[in-house]
Chain A
Amino acid sequence: MTRRTSFFALPLGLIALGLVSVPAALAQSGAVASAMTAGTVGEQADGYLGLAGSVGADVRSEVEAINIKRRAAYTDLAAKRGVTVADVAAATGCQTLANRVKAGQVYRIGTGAWQTKGAAPIALPSYCATAN
């Protein structure tokens, strides 16, 4: 019930603020999700999305936009906790790799090659320790 409420409340809130139109918002997030399913966009251990293959201009610009917003969110939290933005980003990267990347999707740790997640959990960087 709460999930349904927030699902509708978010786009409606954004429309009310005049920030974005519904079709654009749905199309964009859908495009990135599709690219993630296709393996051309993936999560990175550094806490940001990366391009693993060739993508259209719409996907590229949306990935960039998401990363800018992520950095803003990381910066806020870093200031609150008195840590670096990179630390917050790395902690979030641990979470996305541990809990959000689905089997068949791609991910990257450091500057390594893109890898496809299999059935097993991703071998996380040591600094993630007990990311659950």
Chain B
Amino acid sequence: MTQYHANRREDRRKRFLARRAGGLALSLGMLPLLGGCITVKAPDKPIEINLNVKVQQEVVVRLQKDAQDLIKNNPELFPQ
């Protein structure tokens, strides 16, 4: 084996090690990123927005004065 061959083989080995080290560094560098990933899972139930409660609340609030008058005007229906 000539000196030339020996040098070439040594070069190849160095390059291989450097590549492996680089790959490892890259993998290690990405670990925190992976840890920060947010997992979004699709809900197993359909998303339902209930507007009825809000509507009923508005109606009931609007009727408070009427209800007060109704009680005042019908005392026999509201014994205490």
Binding site for B on A (CB under 8 A): 10, 25, 29, 32-33, 36, 66, 69-70, 73-74, 77, 81, 83, 87-88, 90-92, 94-96, 99-100, 102, 126-132
| CB-based contact B71/A96 at 8 Å | yes
CB closest chain-B residue, reference A132: B64
Q: Is the interface of A mostly helix, strand, loop or mixed?
A: helix
The docked-state distance in angstroms from the alpha carbon of A128 to that of B63 is 10
Binding site for A on B (CB under 8 A): 53, 56-57, 59-61, 63-64, 66-68, 70-71, 74-80
Contact of B63 among A10, A87, A102 (CB under 8 A): A87
Contacts of A36 in B (CB 8 A): 79-80
| CB-based contact A100/B78 at 8 Å | yes
